[in-house]
Structure 1
């Protein structure tokens, strides 16, 4: 409404629209927690979505159905006594740009992936698709002009089918992110500075904020289960940096041959280990727990990964290089043992292994069945303080930079403060909408 021709102003109120998958939802909630601690933005709302997906659900095709939320959200916002002044949505939900346009408010795209991946996706979606599987893919405009084998390209791009209505909708959604008023990336300057600079040039608005690692926000704290208490009690008996932690995330189940090799390698390595197998214990090789009872632990169900990685006893992390896991490992200062499978994981592995030297390649590909003796040697070397000294030093340096970034005066702290101030100014220019 307006009074005497002067628009009335609304207090800041952020509407968060998450993508309902664990890897997307958790960092957005961490970001929301951090945002809610800023006095300038005291209010936020978020639709209540389940984070559990049926097995085999393709994230990109799920995104096709979520635009149906636009009309209910628009109706809710227009009937709310304090309508949103900002829309913040996951980058898989580009259609939220239309919602923000309808409400005449700015939209911020939240990227729960690294800036390297954001830059690659933006370049690929704007380019000629589909790609040629017989050729490597060169990302010419990006820093260093990185090249990838076709199979290392993010699977959401490789799965695109030209002319298919669902996939054209997916592509449109990603392209709409370029129209967002601003972009938030769960990363930090010291890790991806050159790619963040590229994004600022590419998007053209200069409002790209790296505010990570957001898992440092502290909003995931919860009471330990009795099983977790037992695990941490055991870890406390282990020497510093002597334990290998193995986990492939919440969405991946290793096939039997792969699980057998991993179990055999952990057993043969002689190293202490924690293996997070998730809910499906069928992946465990028969008798492994009994044979390694003195130096190994298996975590079933949800693993308190951040706390495990930050325990002084843990020195290495066998990871699929999903971005959340990558950042959590980096922040903990452990050596990453990279086994990328799909999605953005090959890009993340390239970043930590080749560009930062804080990780070592352990294996590659969702179908890989590596030699167990070779993998066992990787595990043994990873917790041998006389090996990989340069990798350990670089992992420690990167962890220190991550910690400094979120402290007062650090790059991520300053970026968040800057974002809040710019959002507050933008909200002052949002007029109340007649309903």
Structure 2
């Protein structure tokens, strides 16, 4: 009788995809999965929690060899929408909660006439490694963060915890031996409580990532070469594939909404590189003092601006639209961020430096005005400001309220062609490198080809 490995080698690849059900993690994993399936004819099954069925629908429509596996959450007290909790705590509760799906996934796989040959899961779901062990198949960890953040987290989880809040955190083994104030350490690590059962499960999950057969990173060689090499060295299996940026996979094609048409039409009336685009993502709401300082600085700068405030319009300073007049546009609700950033009228992006937003800004070639708030954003900001010189730092921290005058001058400089020449050149060079990486023969294109070959 043939052995398990021989039987698996005769079967077509079938990838079980287990996302972390937060938009910033889920969407890039779907983008990657679409690219893998569409280009290499690989069959996928995506485990989906109830609230994310709508997000997965466009992926399924554009990925013929993909199917959804709806999985009810383990109980009715799901923390899936507990966005009012601190980010680290929210992710901890959700990651632990989702580990209850292991038995359901195992039962599905063992009863399936076409069981998975590979499991791909978000790096926040390290417990999926135990599922892969049960199924005797390889697991690939998908890093929705950059390699710099992945390296920081790996080093910290393997070290002595909890950290000393009164001392800087020096990461000697990492390239450049970076040092961070305690407040800039990713909040998921700072929130760790030694001995707490949930937190110990979370730490174990992150440590299990080192046992994964391979690692996929949503980044590209020219952006994080040193940290990708560091990951390869630490994981010691030579299977770290940087395949990003993945956002142009084609799995999110949607009809342009009337609101998007209005935004792009307004941008079309503006001179090249004359607009400051402001967006802090979907998870952060500036407190009143921050919003007031930001609004006052935008008004005083004299620059044209688009401010995406999201669903919570209460953050908007009263009367700002009337005072700023035709040089302002406020976007309530969803904003077509990629299209906005790539419009010729946009010259700068005021961002919290979440990894997805950072990559979108990089791919668009706009200068970033960095205002990291929490999580891994301080790491991403350092990558762009200090290591690549393609960003300027506006402020740091969710409690920071910068001087309005200084902030106004920063915004004015950001869209003044006589300023920031080196920064603009660096941003343009990164955009060209990002585009080249995903084209045929580029570093990310080659990485995906190599990964698919090994899967087959």
- TM bin (shorter chain): over 0.9
Report the equivalent of 1:281. Answer: 313
Residue 35 (structure 1) aligned with residue 36 (structure 2): yes
Residue 53 (structure 1) aligned with residue 48 (structure 2): no
How far the C-alpha of 1:231 sits from its partner, in A, is 0.8
How far the C-alpha of 1:422 sits from its partner, in A, is 1.1
Superposed CA RMSD? 1.5
| Structural mapping, 1:349-428, within 5 Å | 349-424=381-456
Return the alpha-carbon distance in structure 1 between the equivalents of residues 27 and 334 of structure 2.
13
Report the equivalent of 1:15. Answer: 16
How far the C-alpha of 1:56 sits from its partner, in A, is 1.7
Residue 219 (structure 1) aligned with residue 251 (structure 2): yes
Report the equivalent of 1:433. Answer: none
Return the alpha-carbon distance in structure 2 between the equivalents of residues 136 and 127 of structure 1.
15
Report the equivalent of 1:26. Answer: 27
Q: Which of the residues 94, 97, 104 maps onto 2:129?
A: 97
Unaligned ranges ≥5, structure 2: 53-79
- Could you list the per-position Cα deviations for residues 388-422 of structure 1 after superposition, in whole angstroms to 9, with x for gaps in the alignment? 10000000001100000000000000000011111
Residue 327 (structure 1) aligned with residue 359 (structure 2): yes
User: Which range is displaced more, 344-353 or 58-67?
Assistant: 58-67
- Could you list the per-position Cα deviations for residues 350-409 of structure 1 after superposition, in whole angstroms to 9, with x for gaps in the alignment? 100000000000111001111111111111100000001000000000110000000000
Residue 117 (structure 1) aligned with residue 145 (structure 2): no
Return the alpha-carbon distance in structure 2 between the equivalents of residues 88 and 266 of structure 1.
43
Higher RCO (C-alpha 8 Å, min separation 6):
1
Q: Secondary structure at the match of 1:293?
A: helix
Q: Which of the residues 172, 177, 202 maps onto 2:209?
A: 177
Q: Which of the residues 194, 217, 223 maps onto 2:226?
A: 194
Return the alpha-carbon distance in structure 2 between the equivalents of residues 267 and 33 of structure 1.
42
Unaligned ranges ≥5, structure 1: 425-435
How far the C-alpha of 1:78 sits from its partner, in A, is 1.1
Report the equivalent of 2:75. Answer: none
Return the alpha-carbon distance in structure 1 between the equivalents of residues 330 and 256 of structure 2.
16
How far the C-alpha of 1:102 sits from its partner, in A, is 0.7
Give the count of matched residue pairs. 423
How far the C-alpha of 1:247 sits from its partner, in A, is 0.4
How far the C-alpha of 1:37 sits from its partner, in A, is 1.5
TM (norm. structure 1) is 0.95
Report the equivalent of 1:260. Answer: 292
Report the equivalent of 2:55. Answer: none
- Could you list the per-position Cα deviations for residues 82-123 of structure 1 after superposition, in whole angstroms to 9, with x for gaps in the alignment? 111110000000000011111111000000000000001000
Contact map agreement 1:38 1:420 (CA 8 A) in 2: no
How far the C-alpha of 1:42 sits from its partner, in A, is 2.2
How far the C-alpha of 1:2 sits from its partner, in A, is 5.0
How far the C-alpha of 1:6 sits from its partner, in A, is 6.5
Contact map agreement 2:92 2:198 (CA 8 A) in 1: no
TM (norm. structure 2) is 0.91
Task: Call closer, same or farther: CA 1:153–1:205 in 2, change over 3 Å.
Answer: same
Return the alpha-carbon distance in structure 2 between the equivalents of residues 372 and 308 of structure 1.
25
Contact map agreement 1:244 1:317 (CA 8 A) in 2: yes
Report the equivalent of 2:57. Answer: none
How far the C-alpha of 1:55 sits from its partner, in A, is 2.7
Return the alpha-carbon distance in structure 1 between the equivalents of residues 441 and 81 of structure 2.
39
Contact map agreement 2:129 2:208 (CA 8 A) in 1: yes
- Could you list the per-position Cα deviations for residues 173-213 of structure 1 after superposition, in whole angstroms to 9, with x for gaps in the alignment? 00000000000000000010010001101001000000000
After the TM superposition, which segments of 4 or more aligned residues of structure 1 sit over 6 Å from their partners?
none
